[in-house]
Amino acid sequence: MKIPNRIQPLVDDGLIDDVLQRLKSGKEADVYTVLCGDKIQCAKVYKEATQRSFKQAVQYQEGRKVRNSRNARAMQKGSKFGRKQQEETWQTAEVEALFRLANAGVRVPQPYLCIDGVLLMELVTDADGAVAPRLSDVTLDEETAIADFNTMIGNIVRMLCAGLVHGDLSEFNVLLDADGPVIIDLPQAVDAAANNHAESMFERDVNNITEYYGQFAPQLLKTRYAKEIWALYEDGKLTPETVLTGLFVEEQHDVDMDSLMDEIITAEDEYYDRQRAAKERDQQYE
């Protein structure tokens, strides 16, 4: 096939020998299979901000650290240089997340390098060596669904223990290879401790995965892993080895309505006393 313009520099530099086919065109990138020496790899070509359809990018970037203070100021001002730096930060976020998660034992594609908005990484394949299908394209029996669901929960826990929340996790960005699910598409991954939206994103991620596997094993729909895992994380008790139950009971506190009404009445009385005192002072000076 014709070599895309963004990939051509990597071909010129000898990093890629040929482009075999385009696998998909997504909301933030186009993905190709490429030949590197005698190995077939995956090249993810990120789209420019004007072409991306991914929404609420600012919400996902909250809490991300920019090492260079000049770059950070430029990004805040929204200058041309700042927008360029923001694009580079968005693109390198996935590379950093992939390396961090691979080191933490999370099943993700192995990243190799990222140059000028092109990420080279492992091509995930099935048992026959073909490109692994997305989870959304497969049908599972109940036993396999439960086993893969437990694997996914384990990977999600490892991600959180590594300080990251996927932020856009669903059956559309999980591949299924010979050994089970592999998580992909991480440019929007958020810092679990620094992003104010991390908890809601985490809950949405877990619920999306639960609903998908729940199609094949309805008993999974009764689990509450999102709440349980996040509560353990906030309490500093979450590790990759933590035994989970899938159960969670919201804390409930009895409200003493009589005491509450007394406090409200007292506050009102104090307010009106201050108002009367202020009016009396004003009348003294008239």
Bridge partners (DSSP) listed for residue 22: 32
116 in catalytic set: no
Q: Is 168 a catalytic residue?
A: yes
Q: State the Cα–Cα distance between residues 97 and 162, nearest whole angstrom.
A: 9
- Say how far apart CA 139 and CA 91 lie, in whole Å: 33
Going by C-alpha positions, the residue among 245, 237, 60 that lies closest to residue 153 is 245
In the block, residue with structure tokens 């650290």: 65
Buried b / exposed e along 174-185 (16+ C-beta atoms within 10 A): bbbbeebbbbbb
d(Cα 105, Cα 89) in Å, to the nearest integer? 24
**H helix intervals, the chain:** 8-12, 57-61, 69-77, 80-103, 142-161, 198-214, 225-234, 257-284
Catalytic site residue from 12, 30, 141, 168: 168
List phi, psi (to 5°) of 155.
-70, -40
Candidates 30, 148, 185, 205; catalytic one: 185
Kindly state the tokens that stand for 160: 């959180």
For the record, the structure tokens of 135 come out as 């989870």
Q: Token digits for 50?
A: 């004007």
Pairing assessment for the beta strands 164-165 and 190-191 based on DSSP bridges: antiparallel
166 — phi, psi (to 5°)? Answer: -55, -55
One-letter amino acid for residue 14 of the chain: G
Token readout for 3 is 């070599």
Question: Could you give the residue numbers annotated as active site?
Answer: 168, 185
